Structure 1
Amino acid sequence: MRIRLLEADEAAPMHLLLLADPSEMLIKDYLASGQCYVLESEQSEILGAFVLQAQNTTKIELVNVAVSEAYQGHGLGRILVEAAIETARNQSYQQLLVCTGNSSIGQFALYQKCGFRVESIERDYFIRHYPDVIIENGIQCRDRICLTQNLSES
C-alpha cells in the first residue's frame, strides 16, 4: 500500500469522502482549497483518503478521513490519520485540528489513540449545518467535537 497526493487532473474519490461527510457541497468546498491524499493497494485500488486544509500558517485541519467500507476495521483509518499527522509535520505546521460528531464513537476513540486532545465542543453544529438528521451508532449527531495535536510535542 502507498499514500499519495491526488494528482491535479484526478477526480477526488467522492464515494469515499461521502462516507465521512454526507454533504457533497461541503466536501467540494474544502477540496477546492485543500490537499486530498489517497491510500492505494498494490493494484492501484483506492482504499481510503484524507483531506488536509490549512487554517493559517501554523494550523492545518484534517477535514475528512475515509476508508472503503470493505476495508473498515483493518487499521487503515489509523494509517491514514498517522499519515496526515506526518504530512502536517513535514509541511511545518505546528498544530493539527480534527473535528468529529458526538455520535462518531469509533472516530473519536481513534483520534485520541493517535494523540489528539479535546479542544472544544460546538453544540448543535450538525443541526445548523446539515439539512438532514444524521444518526450514527443509534445516536443523533448534534455536536461537533474538535480535537488538536501539537505537532512539535508529539
Structure 2
Amino acid sequence: MPTFSRVAPQELPMPLLLLADPSEHHIATYLEGALCYLASEQGQPVGACVLNVNRDGVLELFNIAVAIEAQAQGIGSALLEHVIADARAQGYARIELGTGTFGHQLAFYQRAGFRVESVIRDHFLDHYDEPIHERGIQHKDMLRLALTL
C-alpha cells in the first residue's frame, strides 16, 4: 500500500494531474495555495489529490488521480480515505466536488459517501476547449457532490 503525504503544489507531477483534468490551464487555476496530497510507492508518485478551501469549514476537491499502471489496486480509494480523515482531523466540516454525470468517477465518489446536491448544465461545454468523452459519450453537465465530515 502507498504512503501518503501533504506536499507543496509544485511537487505534484503535472502528467498525473492531467489524468483527471485534461486542461493544464484549468489545473493552474486551482493549484496555487491548494492542499495537496501525494501517494507514493517505493519513492515513486502513484497518486495525487488537490483541494482548496472553498469557504469557512468547506474544502473543494478539484483533482484526484492515480497513475495508469497503478489503477484498480485501491490506491485512489485509500488516498481519498486519507484525505477525508485528514480534513476531518483539521476541523473541516464538509468536502464538495464537481464531476461528470456518469462514469467510474461518479461511482468512486458515491462509494466514499458523497451525495449529489445539484447539476450545473453545460459545465464541460462552457469550461473546456476540447470535448471530453468517456466510453463514447461526451460529458456536458457537471454534478455537484458533497460529503459532510
TM range (shorter): over 0.9
State the superposition RMSD in angstroms.
Answer: 1.2
CA distance in 1 between partners of 2:97 and 2:26 (Å): 15
Structure 2: where are the runs of 5+ without partners?
none
CA distance in 2 between partners of 1:98 and 1:80 (Å): 16
Which residue of structure 1 aligns with residue 55 of structure 2?
A: 56
Identity %: 41
Structure 1: where are the runs of 5+ without partners?
none
How big is the shift at 1:52?
1.1
- Alignment of structure 1 residues 51-130 onto 2, 5 Å: 51-103=50-102, 105-130=103-128
How big is the shift at 1:29?
1.6
TM-score by length of 1: 0.91
Tell me which protein shows more strand as a share of its residues.
2
SS at match of 1:146: strand
SS at match of 1:21: coil
CA distance in 1 between partners of 2:135 and 2:99 (Å): 14
Runs of 4+ in 1 over 4 A off after TM superposition: none
Count of aligned residue pairs for this structure pair: 148
Q: Does 1:19 align with 2:9?
A: no
Aligned AA for 1:120?
A: S
TM-score by length of 2: 0.94
Asked whether the 8 Å contact 1:36–1:50 carries over to 2, the reply is yes
Q: Does 1:32 align with 2:20?
A: no
Aligned AA for 2:32?
A: A
